Structure 1
Amino acid sequence: MTEPGSFTHILVPTDGSDYSIAAGKLAIGIARTYHARLCFLYVIDQVVKTELTRFGGKSEAAVRRELEETGRRAINYLARLAADWGVESTVFLREGTPHEEILKTAKQHGVDLIVIGQVGLRGPRRYLIGSVAERVIEFAECPVLIAKRQGTG
């Protein structure tokens, strides 16, 4: 049993945005403090994939490859940062609805903290919090920490 307020397994969903990179850096610091494991997750958003296929003039396979490459770059970047700080991490690439895949991954891996960016690449600036983060907060079975982009108030 861990002591109250400590964490052993932290999930960081990323889309490569400044907010999700800030979340990753914050999570690395927390993981170092608590000697926790990190899990970086990128979700290929089904809706985005469909929209890009429909309006982008590319095949679904080509769009999926591009999104997968983007995802791998994002999670591998954070995994390298974690390794540089001596923090163990794993990376996952999933496809589906982002908040559902985040919640599913958290449950499957016994995550006790989710650190997520305030908004992502799809989040309009007028919102205080992105829809993915909002749904994760609402349905997560563990604490959720919202990270602002570095340099914001």
Structure 2
Amino acid sequence: MADSSQGLHEEASELSALTRDVHRALVSLQEELEAVDWYRQRAEACRDGELREVLLHNMREEIEHGAMVLEWLRRRDASFDEHLRTYLFTDVPITEAEEAATSSADEAGADSSETAEPAAVPAAAPQALTLGSLKQQDREVTR
């Protein structure tokens, strides 16, 4: 993991400000999760109860920091938003969450078509970052 925080894989001048910020967020998230792991291991191995509580407190702080970074990513990237909405805070088995979310959306669409009122047109979903969209961004940046 340490190598990923050394720098970008591409020249910074070739990347948008958003891509550089997302990189910063992803590296920060990796560091927060690594710190959670370290504190958890240290606390479990620790024989002093008071120190153990301090280490667990520190671990929970790192979890909070990671959650904040994850939320920042969700707010800025449609793919993160979509997948986090699919998998987080559900009670279905994780491996079935996608199917459950898809079938729920299908059922909601079927239920709304049975009503007398016309269904609202959904807002356009934010576009995912693709090579095509990166090329378009590049053209817009160089103009």
TM-score if structure 1 supplies the norm length? 0.26
More strand by share: 1
TM-score (norm 2): 0.27
Structure with max Cα Rg = 2
Which fold has the larger relative contact order, with Cα–Cα distance below 8 Å and residues 6 or more apart in sequence?
1
